[in-house]
Amino acid sequence: MMPNFTSCQPQRGGHLQLILTTLIVLLGLLGNTVALWIFCFRLKKWNPNNLFLFNLVIADILVLVSVPLNIDALLRGHWVFRDGLCRINLFLMFANRSASIGLMTLVAIYRYFKVVHPHHRFNRMNKKQAGYVVAFLWLLVIGPRVPMLAYSHIKGSGNNTQCFFFTSYEEPPQAIILVGILSVLEFFIPLAMLLFCSARISRILRRRQMDKSQKVRRAMRVCAVIVGVFAVCFLPVTLTTIGLCIIRSYRLVDCDLFETFAKLTIVSLGLNFLNSALDPVIYCFSSSMFRKALCSLLPAALRCGRGTGDGEAAASSSETQSMTQQESEGRQRE
């Protein structure tokens, strides 16, 4: 028996999703507001790494501002806002995912070149060149998402109205497959690059007998934290999107299975908001200047040890000289 396609679409999550989304938004807004204030008023020196992190803050704040619309929809059980806000809401959600993935990958690659290839010209990138890289990344993020603003994503009517993107069984399979391909590419390619950077940092620096140095530990922590955020926030929605595409393409009349995966996709999309709450952790691990500025805001009893910044700078300088010396000796032996 053919299913009723007009009713073959999921409903929003229950109270658990509402509570989790609200907590994530509160934590994300708090962390990113503090981070934005630090970047704008407390950082005295800017480098490409801090520019990448600053744009990550902007991406997070933009999506967190739109999340209250989703919370309202969870409270009511349906979407009460107009189609225009639905389009903007979904655009910001998906753009934040792509921008976060791209910017975190840039941070990891920047750390990789600083540690593994200290003399590469990539390390001589100035703020202007880094700005061009970020602008190009935003074009790559926004370009494929612009069509989302051109079409309505309102499903159902009345008290059953929902704002979803490609979760109705009536959607053309070609469109769903395209979204699935984009989701797979933008997740697995950066993930492969992150794993490569982590493996190379570990291998090269242990070969140079520097695996216990502060600089190496910091570089490994940065990559480990970013890979962890990838796995928690982006892997579930990628897998459910793949399942959604396969079911819609090859099991054309299996409405129940489609609804199950669509619900899982909706829930896993909420983990993208968790990414915005976890990103401040990346700022602390990735930038000693940000960490020092944050410590200065804490009460005296909780403040970081004095001279941390100078100690880090001295350690970093010593480690860089040691790396250069060992690299030169290695080349002479070769």
- Smallest CA-to-CA distance from 29 within 216, 219, 217, 276 is with 276
Amino acid 137: pLDDT: 94
| Tens digits of pLDDT across the chain (334 residues) | 334 444 555 555 567 777 888 888 888 889 999 999 999 888 888 889 999 999 999 999 988 888 888 888 888 888 888 888 988 988 888 888 889 999 999 998 998 888 888 888 888 899 999 999 999 999 998 988 888 788 787 877 777 787 876 555 455 556 666 766 777 888 899 999 999 988 888 887 777 655 556 666 777 788 888 888 888 888 888 888 788 777 766 655 567 777 777 777 777 777 777 888 888 888 888 888 888 888 887 776 666 654 444 444 444 444 444 444 444 444 444 3
Cβ contacts of residue 273 below 8 Å, gap of 6+?
21, 24, 25, 28, 63, 64, 67
The half-sphere exposure of 167 on its side-chain side, counting CA atoms within 13 A, is 25
Token pair recorded at residue 96: 């934040």
In order of their start, the domains of the chain are 10-296 (1.20.1070.10)
pLDDT at site 211: 52
Instruction: Report the pLDDT value the prediction gives residue 261, as an integer from 0 to 100.
Output: 74
Residue 201, amino acid? I
- pLDDT on residue 138: 95
Residues contacting 259, CB < 8 A, separation 6+: 8, 9, 10
Q: Would you state the pLDDT for residue 135? A: 96
